[in-house]
Amino acid sequence: MIRHTALACLMVSAACSYAHIGSGEVAVVRTPDGVQQKVYPPGDWRIGVFDHASNYSVRSQEREERLDVQSSDGLGITLDTSIRFHPIASEVVELDQELGQDYYAVLVGPTLRSQARRVVGRFKPEEIYSTQRELIERQIREGVEAAIKGRHVELEAVLVRNVALPQQLQSKITDKLAQEQEALKQQAEDQEKLMAARAEAERQRIRADSQAADARVQAQAAADVARIAAQAAADAKRLDGQATADYQRLIQANLTASVLHLQEIDAARAFAHSPNAKLVLMGGVGAHTLLDLRGAGDGKPTPYP
């Protein structure tokens, strides 16, 4: 019994095979009945002895291509390009059935070459060599991406690494680019000088405006001082005149006949003390007095007879 069991296990084992699927790979298994509709992930899988596993790398893959293309004027140009891509893991069964493991040679490579020729044929050599390289890369990538859409391959990038032109034309383009760079440099220097001149003019204008403003402030201050001084002088004269008028009104209100007579007497006394001889006619209302102050050394004036 044991011998029969061991023999049966040996026969079953001999009727089986193993498929090894490495990291970053998936596999499609073909059987005598056709392709299994299952994507096998990494690992060791037991399959039938007559089955066959086709492994596909689903990691990013890069291929370099040297493409001979023509510019818009028919000039031959060589592009050193590279393309990055990977199969879509969940669609590997369809990829295997439609294109097989050599899908790059069947689909991706020819599509890249075709789109590169189509795009480059729109540009002049100097544009391809200098200013339009990024645009060319983008248009080639977009063309390839549209062409392989739905074909179970995902495009990651298309890069134009180098552009090779005929030596004579490349020298002319290089000289032209150098001249353009020199012109741009001169233009930048001229622009810088112009901006510096404008900045200096603006500084001068600001300085002149500031000086004019200072002059206006000083003139206004001087005018204010003169106006205040004139107003003060006018106020002083007005106050002086008012005081004089008030004094005169006060004197006129209090200047009686008795006060005037008293002032006459005080004046006579002042004359009496004078060293000179005098005749003084003193008069009041209704009376006149003639004083003889000659010889008034004794201090007693006598009336004139």
Structural domain includes residue 247: yes
91 and 122 inside one domain: yes
pLDDT digits (tens, 9 = 90+) for 98-122: 999 999 999 999 999 999 999 999 9
Whether the Cβ atoms of residue 106 and residue 152 lie closer than 8 Å to each other:
no
Which tokens belong to 224? 């204010």
- Match 């009496």 to its residue by tokens: 272
Structural domain includes residue 172: no
Whether the Cβ atoms of residue 140 and residue 115 lie closer than 8 Å to each other:
yes
CA angle 258, 263, 267 (to 5 degrees): 150
Structural domain includes residue 176: no
Alpha carbon distance, N-terminus to C-terminus of the chain: 202
Picking from 153, 175, 151, the residue whose alpha carbon sits closest to that of residue 165 is 175
230 and 267 inside one domain: no
pLDDT digits (tens, 9 = 90+) for 1-58: 555 444 444 444 445 688 999 999 999 999 998 899 999 999 999 998 899 999 999 9
Domain extent, residue 289, equals 256-303
Least confident window among 57-61, 157-161, 173-177, 185-189: 173-177
pTM: 0.52
Instruction: Decide if pLDDT at 238 tops 90.
Output: no
Q: Give me the CATH number covering residue 153.
A: 3.30.479.30
Q: Which sign, positive or negative, has the C-alpha torsion 174, 177, 181, 182?
A: positive
Q: What is the per-residue pLDDT for 224? A: 85
Structural domain includes residue 182: no
Q: What is the per-residue pLDDT for 253? A: 72
> Number of structural domains, the chain?
4
